[in-house]
Amino acid sequence: PRTTDEILTTDLHLVQSFADLNALKQSGARTAIVAAEGAMVRDSDGNELIDGIGGLWCVNVGHGRREIIEAITEQLQTLDFYSTFYSFTHPAAAALSAKLAELAPGSLNKVYFGNSGSVANDSAVRILHHYYNRLGQPKKRLVLSRQGAYHGSTYLSIAMTTPEYSDGWSRAEGLVHYLRKPHYWHEGDGMTEAEFLDALMEDMRSRIETLGAENIACFVAEPIMGAGGVIVPPKGYHKRALEICRDYEIKYISDEVVTAFGRLGHFFASEAVFDIQPDIINTAKGLTSGYQPLSATIMSDEIHEVISGPGGSFLHGMTYSGHPAAAAAGLANIALMERDEIPQKAQVTGKLFEETLKGLEDIEIVGEVRGSHFMIGIELVKDKATKTLFDPDLNIGMMVAQKAQSKGLIARPLGHILILSPTLIMTPELIARTGAILRESILEVMASLKAA
């Protein structure tokens, strides 16, 4: 094994994602993860750390699962690669598409594979543009997204993402429009939650009326916003939003890149948790538990019927759509989840995780702990009564995350919010340890701020 210094020296060529590249250049502070097993990872200095972010919201079944590794190896030995273009298919992609059709709600029976969540979201919009062209409604192109959303980093999916991610460029030429962020705690303004929901729905209707439903292709929403700070919308939000979409003939895309495959206790959250049957579900991450890059755009029979009707080819696809090794990983991952009842068990352990972290709300600078099961956000505030935030330059989230890492836990800082999205195999002991490390870390940072 290489030493930390050797790894970081060669890593001078690696451009980190989602990083302050200048700050990294100045500090050189990076962590090389060299091994992983179960719910834990090991860094190059030999520290064992709880993987509190599950790789990046994705290693749902835990690290080092032989069943998945062997399925990938076996697949590569039999058929290393073939694509699913033109008329070609292969057993792994075919079997996985059938399995996803079985698991996805209602009439969502047709699967388009890609290699990332970003690509899944891009593909969904392209599919819908193609769909409306075929129906003779080429003007139906606009996308309704939301403030706070994260849908990916390709040019289209970053445009579907909340505008803060842009550097002021064109937002894909006005293609995407942003509805209000459904965050009651910050945006509720003296309303009851039910009144806030009414206001959000009113906003949605009036935006549709202004833009013209005849110009709008789709509404896209994460069941629980992830990278936007783990925002659980008011109860009934998705159902009401879907009704509005139906009223105006706008397709509903549910971005389940994070929320699927057990993170909220079910294979898919749209129907099981939020009681909706969207027109398209996009997923990635937990689909293979991160063992291979793979995404799926799962569309309704009705959409597929139109895009496969007379009128020529649908010219869209990636070389690696349905890569055999990735499809084999997906199949083995789902088989493992079914055999060990991982989503069902996550209903219990995930609830314990949620309750343990909600217990941190008694700390003076913890404003709101929110989320559900294994998807939790902890918002740190300077003043809880007034919900005043810390000076962003303080980087409070990073301060706590670094402290937590020094105590054996990886948490993800997002400005003043800490994100926890661990593997779904966290034991009650590891859950308790996670809670204890977070409490100590927040209290120590708080004390250092008071002393300063």
| Choice between 326 and 381, CB closer to ligand PLP | 326
Cα 53 from Cα 412, distance rounded (Å): 7
| Choice between 156 and 445, CB closer to ligand PLP | 156
Q: Is 389 in the site for ligand PLP (CB under 6 A)?
A: no
Q: How far is the CB of 89 from ligand PLP (least distance, A)?
A: 24
Q: How far is the CB of 160 from ligand PLP (least distance, A)?
A: 9
Binding-site size for ligand PLP (CB under 6 A) equals: 14
| Choice between 42 and 171, CB closer to ligand PLP | 171
- Comparing CA positions, the residue from 77, 81, 58 lying closest to residue 327 is 81
| Choice between 51 and 403, CB closer to ligand PLP | 51
Residues contacting residue 100 through CB under 8 Å, at least 6 positions apart? 111, 296, 298
Cα 132 from Cα 112, distance rounded (Å): 18
Binding mask 244-263 for ligand PLP (x = CB under 6 A): -----------x-xx-----
| Choice between 118 and 356, CB closer to ligand PLP | 118
DSSP-assigned letter for residue 113:
E
Q: Is 114 in the site for ligand PLP (CB under 6 A)?
A: no
**∠ Cα 151 268 242 (to 5°):** 65
Candidate ranges 19-27, 112-120, 163-171, 341-349; the one touching ligand PLP (CB under 6 A):
112-120
Pairing, β 417-420 against β 375-380: antiparallel
- Comparing CA positions, the residue from 443, 295, 281, 343 lying closest to residue 60 is 343
Position among 112, 150, 178, 268 found at the interface with ligand PLP (CB under 6 A): 150
| Choice between 152 and 343, CB closer to ligand PLP | 152
- Comparing CA positions, the residue from 307, 351, 285 lying closest to residue 120 is 285
Q: Is 53 in the site for ligand PLP (CB under 6 A)?
A: no
* Residue 349, H or E segment: helix 342-358
Q: Which of residues 282-301 bind ligand PLP (CB under 6 A)?
A: 284
Q: Is 224 in the site for ligand PLP (CB under 6 A)?
A: no
| Choice between 150 and 267, CB closer to ligand PLP | 150
Position among 118, 254, 270, 292 found at the interface with ligand PLP (CB under 6 A): 118
Cα 121 from Cα 90, distance rounded (Å): 24
Q: How far is the CB of 257 from ligand PLP (least distance, A)?
A: 3
Q: Is 222 in the site for ligand PLP (CB under 6 A)?
A: yes
Residue 158, phi-psi category: left (phi > 0), alpha (psi -120 to 50), beta (remainder): alpha
DSSP 293-325: --EEEEEEHHHHHHHTSSS-------TTTT-HH
The two structure tokens encoding residue 18: 């989602």
Pairing, β 33-37 against β 40-43: antiparallel
Candidate ranges 116-124, 196-204, 238-246, 269-277; the one touching ligand PLP (CB under 6 A):
116-124
Q: Is 226 in the site for ligand PLP (CB under 6 A)?
A: yes
Q: Is 269 in the site for ligand PLP (CB under 6 A)?
A: no
Cα 260 from Cα 53, distance rounded (Å): 15
| Choice between 117 and 435, CB closer to ligand PLP | 117
Position among 117, 223, 233, 367 found at the interface with ligand PLP (CB under 6 A): 117
Which residues form the interface with ligand PLP (CB under 6 A)? 116-118, 121, 150-152, 222, 226-227, 255, 257-258, 284
